[in-house]
Structure 1
Amino acid sequence: MKNKKTLVGLPVDGRPVVRRQVQDLVAAAGWEMRMPEVAALGHMREPAPREALAAWLEREAADAAGVVVSIDMLVYGGLVPSRFIADELHALLPRLALFRRLKQRQPRLPIYAFAATMRISNNNVAEEEKPYWAEHGERLWAWSFHSDRHGQTGDAEAARLAAAAEAAIPAEIRNDYLATRARNFAVNEALLDLVAEGVIARLILPQDDTAEYGFNIAERRRLQQLVQERGLASRVLIYPGADEVMHTLAAHLVGRAREDAAPLRIALSCSDPHHLQQLRARYEDRPVLDSLASQLEAVGARLVANNEPADLLLALHSSGPAQGDWAMRLPLPAPQPLDTAWVEQLASTTLPLAVVDLAYANGADPVLIEALAARGLLPKLVGYAGWNTASNSLGSLLAQLVLAREALGDEANRLNTALRLAEDYLYQARLRRALRERIDEPALSADELAAEVRSNFVPAADAWLRETGLPGRIARCYLPWDRTFEIGLELQC
């Protein structure tokens, strides 16, 4: 018997931000989202057992109202393994047959899926890449970026830079990298067949950590062309993002199932509207406002004009023409003073208020958070996000608002909002930076590192939550991948 309010999800990995926190957002809507246990989802570079996950998904989907599946987990064993796992294409494509089996058994089951366009990181860090990235990562990025830039613009300097980078990379590495990209592209292309057949109802192909040009952008253009040629534009979305897609697809499924399926109406207020028009977020290939439009479409919400009725007010904070980045220790290139009149406008609104904080990648803007706290606005927020990339924040926040639209003031949604504030502000923008400056992270064991984080973060977070009037206290604090970049938090009343 189908459970009308149960979803089944296969996340990209076991990190809490893509698994447990999505379950909590769905629970705030009065739904359940079943996912595999964390131990079944691999561990960063360690691929998950794919056969066992496929069997789990087939079993759990039998009574579900819908499924949301990470193709990177199903096919490669996780988002990170998708970049280096050695399997050939002929061994990967049969894993997609699971979808046809599910659809044959349950013709009315909504199947949502997502698969990232493989990222190209601009650094010599191989932690999440093939080993040769430690020596050639920046050259591979330059080869990719300038080759595509030359192809699109004809710029002679781009041709020179591309040739120089290519010449500095051994041929066997170039060939291996291109072969990996071609293999992953072929898997994504095969997904379009499943959409065309009506097996997959909604597919998102997010661009993971990208730039304006690159091999991955060329792949995006080709995928968009295929989508248009096959008439799939209403069912296939392609835009920057990755970690937030489980959030957005779950929100779309729940919103579609509601009796009143009218889109959530969102009014927008921006702290720095002049610079926002030209702001292109780090790790994305388009202006922030274009990313916002894509994320709204993904969750099934819409912006309204100032004179139209709205369900809530979304405050979008940025500061200047470019982002900083807390994780990479990049300050704001041209910070702008926070407009105090704008903060007062937020304080005076009669609409439920949510904030997306995009001044920095990988963490909140302390100037904004402290201004909101001084005005007593933090405990009044119905949603907040300021983590990782702009699209990660935009998508996860919009998903939270769609899911909790009938319960924005309930305890569950307030706790979810408090968790994001504690993680994005207190940890990502404050403690993580200070901790990395003080300790030698590689020299500590996983247990020592976790203990260091807990002893510094938990008392400070509990005190800050209490002082600002936010609900909850830290029930659990851990490092899901045994490093300081991400944290696992659980709050309790």
Structure 2
Amino acid sequence: MSGIVLVPLDERPVCTSLPAGIARIAGLDCALPPSGLLPRIRRPGDTAGLTDWLSAARQTASFAIVSLEGLGFGGLIPSRIGHESQAEVAVRWSVLRQTGCPVFASTLVPRTPDSSDPMEEPDYWDPHGPALHSLSAARAKRAGVAQAQAAVPREVRLDWIGRRLRQHALALQAVELAADNTVGRLVIGIDDAAEESLSAADQRALGDWVDRCELGDRVFVQPGADEIGAVLVARACLAVRGVRAPIIGIMCSDPEALNRVAPYESSRVRETIRRQIEAAGAHAVFLGSGIGDSSSGSVSGIDSRAAGCDVILVVHPPEEPRVPAADWAVAPDHHLDPHQAALTADLVTRALTTTTLVGLADVARPNGADPALVAALDAADVWRALGGFAAWNTAGNTVGTVAAQLVAGWAARESGTLDAGAVRLSVARRVVEDYGWMSLERERVRTILGSPRTRHDNIAEPDTGNPVLRDAETRLSAVLAARPGLERVRIEPGSLTLPWQRTFEIDLNLIEAG
């Protein structure tokens, strides 16, 4: 038996290519279902076909990583808009009880986004999404509920809350799968939640059940969604390679900033970091700033060896809250903080003197990387030495990705199976997407195309014939060529595409010149 099999959340690269790339770092294969079984945006995947594929694949694999939304509904958006009952989904999950390799699984607490964009939601999100978001907050705070209810038609309210009820019942059923050892490890992701919302309330309720069932070492309730497949693949790498859990030291030049709640999340960034690292199978130790001060619960100083750390995760801290909030996707703001960027880059340089495995999570601002930080890292010439980097979407997405890169890297180094080329490609992919596309090219492309700022656009022209995308591919190639240590990584010509026919995310193929 060898390798990992994955039933992904959906067909996007962060749910398929990213976890497969994490496995390659440790010299492992990660098999995916045939593309014809996967969803296509709002069209559900073939759940019967996925069940048959998983049942067969588990007979020869070492581990199976299963998105319960992918298996039960045929994908993320289908889980939000589908009409399956709890009982119907439970029948589809029953394949997990069959004999085969161990299973790690994930499920999600649904979001209620403050948007009238129905692209990923039920059709009534246009126009009722913002009012439903307000109703979620009112119910969570138990204040102003009647007024918030009055702003939403009754049939819409009942459908929305009925879907949340179904998903909450399914999450409890997933906890039961962990309690009876059908699932060896479970991550319950909180998908794009506000601090005061029904999602946050559901997070607390599920956390209580995990505590009551004494499952805290195997079930994790935390912010995140799309990165969970990669996180669980990393945990499986430790098991397949027979490597002990690493101790990951967390360093930040402003440790107090980790007590902030990042946009689209329901808890402090410090808690997100701890939970993502634990979900990936590692232990977290907060080391402070390394510049002479420390934060509550942190170990002061940069000497990771004295703290017994195997790996270092440097965190570029979240910005101070501002109104309106800056966001590389919907509210680009090019007022940067070069001083903070220099402090973070200096921490990376110093961390590399104490350990050979260092990663960097940029959670300064959602939906992209800090250009000032990228410039500081260029000047420090550290790209070639990094074992992990990410800066995409939410803090949970970013931290989970870097945690996965580092844990897989640790498993590979300890077992002698490290694929250094896979590490470079993993870092380069995040640089070209999180910095090149999200922070630079996306805004330019949207301006050229006349895309809306607050809603997802729809690019109907085929990717291969779109001159705007072909020009963007050339410019992204220059982004990689300009990064010391990554200049040999190339974008395969003509490979840039829009997986969901929108500019929010991209797909591309990276190759390394010989």
TM-score of the two chains, using structure 2 as the length reference:
0.87
In structure 2, the partner of 1:288 is 269
The question of whether the paired residues in 2 share the 8 Å contact of 1:12 and 1:79 is answered with yes
How far does residue 173 in structure 1 lie from its aligned partner after superposition? 0.7
Q: Does 1:95 align with 2:76?
A: no
Instruction: Please say which of residues 120-129 and 450-459 is displaced more in the overlay.
Output: 450-459
Q: Which residue identity lines up with residue 343 of structure 1 in the other structure? A: A
Q: 1:195 to 1:259 in 2, by over 3 A?
A: closer
Identity of aligned residues (%): 31
Q: Does 1:466 align with 2:481?
A: yes
| CA–CA distance in structure 2, aligned partners of residues 128 and 96 of structure 1 | 23
The question of whether the paired residues in 2 share the 8 Å contact of 1:209 and 1:241 is answered with yes
In structure 1, the partner of 2:448 is 438
In structure 2, the partner of 1:153 is none
How far does residue 197 in structure 1 lie from its aligned partner after superposition? 1.7
Query: 1:48-78, CA deviations, whole angstroms, 9 ceiling, x for partnerless residues?
Result: 1110111111111111111110000111110
Query: 1:11-39, CA deviations, whole angstroms, 9 ceiling, x for partnerless residues?
Result: 00111111022112201201111111333
Query: 1:172-226, CA deviations, whole angstroms, 9 ceiling, x for partnerless residues?
Result: 1111111111112222222222222221111111110101122222222222222
Q: 1:333 to 1:166 in 2, by over 3 A?
A: farther
| CA–CA distance in structure 1, aligned partners of residues 313 and 110 of structure 2 | 31
Once the two structures are superposed, the pairs formed by residues 6-155 of structure 1 within 5 Å of their partners are: 6-101=3-98, 105-106=99-100, 109-150=101-142
Instruction: Please say which of residues 294-303 and 308-317 is displaced more in the overlay.
Output: 308-317
Q: 1:412 to 1:208 in 2, by over 3 A?
A: same
Taking only aligned residues, the RMSD between alpha carbons, in angstroms, comes to: 2.1
| CA–CA distance in structure 1, aligned partners of residues 160 and 327 of structure 2 | 28
Once the two structures are superposed, the pairs formed by residues 44-443 of structure 1 within 5 Å of their partners are: 44-101=41-98, 105-106=99-100, 109-150=101-142, 159-160=143-144, 162-261=145-244, 263-274=245-256, 276-304=257-285, 305=287, 306=303, 307-322=306-321, 324-329=326-331, 331=333, 337-338=339-340, 340-348=342-350, 349-350=352-353, 351-352=355-356, 353-405=358-410, 406-407=412-413, 410-441=420-451
The question of whether the paired residues in 1 share the 8 Å contact of 2:262 and 2:318 is answered with no
Q: 1:447 to 1:334 in 2, by over 3 A?
A: closer
Q: Structure 1: which 5+ residue stretches go unaligned?
A: 151-158
Q: Which residue identity lines up with residue 90 of structure 1 in the other structure? A: A
Q: 1:119 to 1:333 in 2, by over 3 A?
A: farther
| CA–CA distance in structure 2, aligned partners of residues 437 and 454 of structure 1 | 13
| CA–CA distance in structure 1, aligned partners of residues 201 and 335 of structure 2 | 29
| CA–CA distance in structure 1, aligned partners of residues 170 and 465 of structure 2 | 37
| CA–CA distance in structure 2, aligned partners of residues 125 and 463 of structure 1 | 33
Q: Which residue identity lines up with residue 241 of structure 2 in the other structure? A: R
Specify the SS of the correspondent of 2:331: coil
In structure 2, the partner of 1:481 is 500
Q: 1:449 to 1:439 in 2, by over 3 A?
A: farther
| CA–CA distance in structure 2, aligned partners of residues 214 and 319 of structure 1 | 21
Q: Which residue identity lines up with residue 45 of structure 1 in the other structure? A: R
How far does residue 453 in structure 1 lie from its aligned partner after superposition? 4.8
Q: 1:466 to 1:448 in 2, by over 3 A?
A: closer
Q: 1:170 to 1:64 in 2, by over 3 A?
A: same
Q: 1:87 to 1:385 in 2, by over 3 A?
A: same
Q: 1:42 to 1:460 in 2, by over 3 A?
A: same
| CA–CA distance in structure 2, aligned partners of residues 170 and 256 of structure 1 | 50
Specify the SS of the correspondent of 2:66: strand
Between the two proteins, the alignment pairs up a number of residues equal to 474
Instruction: Please say which of residues 324-333 and 171-180 is displaced more in the overlay.
Output: 324-333
TM-score of the two chains, using structure 1 as the length reference:
0.91
| CA–CA distance in structure 2, aligned partners of residues 309 and 93 of structure 1 | 44
| CA–CA distance in structure 2, aligned partners of residues 146 and 386 of structure 1 | 32
Instruction: Please say which of residues 317-326 and 425-434 is displaced more in the overlay.
Output: 317-326
In structure 2, the partner of 1:154 is none
Specify the SS of the correspondent of 1:478: coil
Q: Which residue identity lines up with residue 472 of structure 1 in the other structure? A: V
| CA–CA distance in structure 1, aligned partners of residues 334 and 212 of structure 2 | 42
| CA–CA distance in structure 1, aligned partners of residues 118 and 464 of structure 2 | 21
The question of whether the paired residues in 1 share the 8 Å contact of 2:315 and 2:362 is answered with yes
Query: 1:424-463, CA deviations, whole angstroms, 9 ceiling, x for partnerless residues?
Result: 0000110001111221345752316972453222222222
Q: Which residue identity lines up with residue 10 of structure 2 in the other structure? A: D
Q: 1:202 to 1:240 in 2, by over 3 A?
A: same
The question of whether the paired residues in 2 share the 8 Å contact of 1:449 and 1:482 is answered with no
Specify the SS of the correspondent of 1:360: coil
| CA–CA distance in structure 1, aligned partners of residues 469 and 448 of structure 2 | 15
How far does residue 413 in structure 1 lie from its aligned partner after superposition? 0.7
Q: Which residue identity lines up with residue 273 of structure 1 in the other structure? A: P
| CA–CA distance in structure 2, aligned partners of residues 335 and 341 of structure 1 | 10
| CA–CA distance in structure 1, aligned partners of residues 248 and 328 of structure 2 | 29
Q: Which residue identity lines up with residue 314 of structure 1 in the other structure? A: L
Q: Which residue identity lines up with residue 404 of structure 1 in the other structure? A: G
The question of whether the paired residues in 2 share the 8 Å contact of 1:74 and 1:95 is answered with yes
Query: 1:295-320, CA deviations, whole angstroms, 9 ceiling, x for partnerless residues?
Result: 11101222344432433332211253
In structure 1, the partner of 2:290 is none
Q: Which residue identity lines up with residue 397 of structure 1 in the other structure? A: V
Q: Structure 2: which 5+ residue stretches go unaligned?
A: 288-302, 452-456
